[in-house]
Chains A and B, each alone.
Chain A
Amino acid sequence: LAKTTQPISMDSYEGQEVNITCSHNNIATNDYITWYQQFPSQGPRFIIQGYKTKVTNEVASLFIPADRKSSTLSLPRVSLSDTAVYYCLVGDTASGAGSYQLTFGKGTKLSVIP
């Protein structure tokens, strides 16, 4: 049962900025939002993590509104090597008091076109 919602796929041309949004209505108060990247036949790899407002590192930016019910991963000037599946990961308080389950979104398949 999916606890997050992301677009299934996106296409972009090389050099463009790409924004991928994840909805997570039941995020836990103390949880962070984490995005991962996965290439075929490999395990996911950490990209960026944040709690609220904006976080930026050398590969991406993460925008989180005040209510934290969604987040947007921004990839500046994508290249062909950015073609991958992108997942957002959050905690889920719907499992009951004192516990939560870790849930990956279904992922967004980004295809970068030359």
Chain B
Amino acid sequence: NAGVTQTPKFQVLKTGQSMTLQCAQDMNHNSMYWYRQDPGMGLRLIYYSASEGTTDKGEVPNGYNVSRLNKREFSLRLESAAPSQTSVYFCASSEAEGTDTQYFGPGTRLTVL
């Protein structure tokens, strides 16, 4: 039982490049989330998926797209990376939507040059 896994752990991109961050959970959770964490800003919600087949914008969705591929997997895509997207990205899952307990992955540290 691995919980929430994220790939890659580290990534360096040049401005304008694209990439997809992968997230998977093996807890049969319905809801999944993507956050970014910047120094001094705490965690900010980018997108979430309350259940398979649905996605919704969070606080800071601009510049990102998501796909809920199936119940286990929720990916985050940067179509044209910008230096402002340099951050640590965390994926999380919970059994239900809302403030039900969330389980977090180890994070992906992304640097955009």
- B106 pairs with A102, CB closer than 8 A: no
- B98 pairs with A101, CB closer than 8 A: no
In A29-46, the 8 Å CB interface with B consists of 30-34, 36, 41-46
B residues less than 8 Å from A101 (CB atoms): 45, 58-59
| Secondary structure call for the B interface | strand
- B101 pairs with A46, CB closer than 8 A: yes
Interface residue B74 (Cβ < 8 Å from any Cβ of A): no
| Secondary structure call for the A interface | loop
Chain A residue at minimal CB-CB distance from B109: A41
Q: In the complex, what's the smallest C-beta–C-beta distance from A43 to chain B, in angstroms?
A: 3
Interface residue A70 (Cβ < 8 Å from any Cβ of B): no
| Binary contact track A44-69/B, C-beta < 8 Å → 1, others 0 | 11100100000000000000000000
A-B contact count (CB 8 A): 64
- B56 pairs with A99, CB closer than 8 A: yes
- A104 pairs with B43, CB closer than 8 A: yes
User: Please, how many residues of chain B have a CB less than 8 angstroms from a CB on the other chain?
Assistant: 25
- A106 pairs with B42, CB closer than 8 A: yes
CA distance A109 to B42 in the complex (A): 11
Contact of A44 among B45, B59, B104 (CB under 8 A): B104
- B43 pairs with A44, CB closer than 8 A: yes
CA distance A1 to B59 in the complex (A): 8
Contact A31/B90 with A87-B42, A87-B43 known, Cβ cut-off 8 Å: no
Contact A43/B99 with A1-B59, A104-B42, A104-B43 known, Cβ cut-off 8 Å: no
Q: List 9 A-B contacts (CB under 8 A).
A: A2-B42, A32-B99, A43-B107, A44-B90, A45-B104, A46-B103, A87-B42, A89-B99, A102-B48
Residues of chain B at the chain A interface (Cβ within 8 Å): 4, 33, 35, 40-45, 48, 56, 58-59, 90, 92, 98-107
